[in-house]
Amino acid sequence: MKKVFLYITITLLPVLALAQTQDTFTIKGKIGNLNAPSRAYLIYQLGANQVIDSAQISAGNFDFNGQILTPSNAILFIDHKGVGFEKLDSTVDKLNLYLDKGEFAVSGTDSISKAQITGSKINDEDKKLKALLEPINNKAKNLMAIKRTVTAEQNTPAFRSNLQGRYKALQAEQKTVIKKFILENPDSYFSLMALYSVDGPSPNPVELDSLFNTLSPTLKSSEAAKVFQKALEPVRHTAPGVMAPDFIQNDVNGVPVKLSSLRGKYVLVDFWASWCGPCREENPNVVRVYNKYKDKNFTILGVSLDKAEGRADWLAAIKNDGLVWTQVSDLKWWNNQAAALYYVSSIPANFLIGPDGKIIAKDLRGDDLDDKLKEVLK
C-alpha cells in the first residue's frame, strides 16, 4: 500500500532547492467570454516553495507571469463563480500542465479542463507521451474494475495469480513504451522525468544509468539531472548484488533477531503490515512458497510496519494468515528502522538474500517468487 502498484502516468518529482538561475514564463490565457467575478488561479513549485498565483479575467482573457528554476508541473484553476480559492472543491474546473521558460497560450471555449495548449514544447511532449500510454492506462483501469467487483468466492489464488500476471504484462508494455520514448527524445526534459517510471516500484540502477547516458549532454548536466542521480542513490544500496543491510528487531516475544544470524540460508525479508490489504492478499502465496521450500535451505523473516497500538492486530494477522516463520517489528509504522535501511516506501515489499548475505532479487510477487526460488535453489 501507499503507492499504486502499477505506475502508468509520468509525474514530476519535487525539485530540490539547489542554487540555480531562475527563468521566466508567461501564460496567455483565454476562456470563453468570462468576466469578473470569475478568476484564474495557478499553483506551481518554485524550488522548495509552492506558489499560488491569481489573475483577473476580462472578456475571457487572463495572463500569468512568473519564475521557475526548472520545468515544473502546475495546475490552472478557473473559479467561474468567484467564490475564492479557499472555497474551491474537487469539482473545480482545472487543467494540469507544465511550466517552462518562455511564453505559451492556453485557450478554451467554456472549460479550462478542455483547453488547448499551444507554443509549449514540454506540454507537446506531455501530450505525446500520454497518447502513447493511454491504451495501457485503459487496460489497467479495466483490471482495477475487475478487482473491485470480484466476489469472495471468485477471489481464489488462481484468480489473483492471473490478475497479477496481467498487471505484470502491462508493466512490461509500459516499460517498452517509456524506454522507446527516452531513446527517441534524448533532449526532452520528459525523457529525464520518464526515467523515474521505467521500472515502477523496483528500479534497476544499472538499466537506469544506461538510459540516462543516452540523454543529451545539456540535459545530463542540468540541475534536474543532478536531482535524479541523487534520487537514484538509495536504489543503489539495495540493488541485486550488494550486501543486504543488517538490522536487529524484536520478535513477537520481545527477543532480538538479527538478520545476519540467518546467514548461510536463502532469506526472504518480507515487509508487510496487518492493515495492508495487498499484503494480506499476497500472504497465502508467501505461505505456499514457504511450505514448498522451507526444507531446502530457505526461510522468511517478516518485518511488520504496524504501529505500537496495532500490536494486537499484528499478532492476530500472523495467526489468521498462518505466518509461521519469524516475525519482527519495532512497531513504528512507516518509521520502521529496517524499512528505512531498505528504502521501503510501499508495501508489500520483499528482498531475497543469498547465503552470502547479498541481495539476489526484490519485490517478487505471485509466481515470480516461486520461479525465482526454483531457479536459485535448483
Domain CATH code at residue 322: 3.40.30.10
Residue at 160 is within a domain: yes
Residue at 284 is within a domain: yes
**Listed residues 103, 119, 135: the one ending a domain:** 119
Strand, helix or coil at 46?
A: strand
Name the residue type at position 189. Answer: Y
**Listed residues 92, 119, 146: the one ending a domain:** 119
Residue at 2 is within a domain: no
Residue at 146 is within a domain: yes
Question: Is residue 306 domain-shared with residue 320, that is, in the same domain?
Answer: yes
Whole-number pLDDT of residue 21? 60
Residue at 135 is within a domain: yes
Ramachandran angles phi, psi of 341, nearest 5°? -60, -35
Whole-number pLDDT of residue 99? 94
Q: Grid coordinates 521557475 are at which residue?
A: 68
Residue at 222 is within a domain: yes
CA 130 to chain centre: 17
Residue 350 in grid coordinates: 520483499
Between CA 116 and CA 124 the distance in angstroms is 10
Helix%, strand%, coil% for the chain, nearest 5: 40, 25, 35
**Listed residues 96, 119, 142: the one ending a domain:** 119
What pTM, to 2 d.p., does this model score? Answer: 0.69
In our burial notation (b when 16+ CB lie closer than 10 A, e otherwise), range 187-217 reads ebbbbbbbbbbbbbbebebeebeebbeebee
Whole-number pLDDT of residue 1? 46
Residue at 131 is within a domain: yes
Q: In which domain, by residue range, is 42 found? A: 23-119
Question: Is residue 136 domain-shared with residue 40, that is, in the same domain?
Answer: no
Whole-number pLDDT of residue 201? 67
Task: Tell me: cis bond preceding 348? Omega within 30 of 0 counts.
Answer: yes
Residue 273 in grid coordinates: 503490515
Q: Across-strand partners of 332?
A: 307
User: Dihedral (C-alpha) 152, 157, 162, 168: value to the nearest 10 degrees?
Assistant: 110
Nearest-CA neighbor of 143 among 113, 174, 177, 180? 174
Residues of the chain with pLDDT under 70: 1-21, 201
Whole-number pLDDT of residue 157? 77
Whole-number pLDDT of residue 3? 33
Task: State pLDDT tens for residues 242-286.
Answer: 999 999 999 999 999 999 999 999 999 999 999 999 999 999 999
Question: Is residue 149 domain-shared with residue 266, that is, in the same domain?
Answer: no
Residue 364: CB atoms within 10 A of its CB come to 24
Question: Is residue 167 domain-shared with residue 216, that is, in the same domain?
Answer: yes
Number of domains in the chain: 3
Name the residue type at position 323. Answer: L
Using CA atoms, how far residue 261 sits from 110, 138, 247, 267, in Å, is 66, 47, 10, 11
Question: Is residue 254 domain-shared with residue 322, that is, in the same domain?
Answer: yes
> What residues contact 117, with CB distance under 8 A and at least 6 apart?
97, 104, 105, 106, 123, 124, 127
Nearest-CA neighbor of 119 among 30, 35, 185? 30
Whole-number pLDDT of residue 107? 96
Residue 39 in grid coordinates: 478568476
Question: Is residue 107 domain-shared with residue 181, that is, in the same domain?
Answer: no
Question: Is residue 369 domain-shared with residue 288, that is, in the same domain?
Answer: yes
Residue at 371 is within a domain: yes
Nearest-CA neighbor of 344 among 297, 378, 303, 300? 303
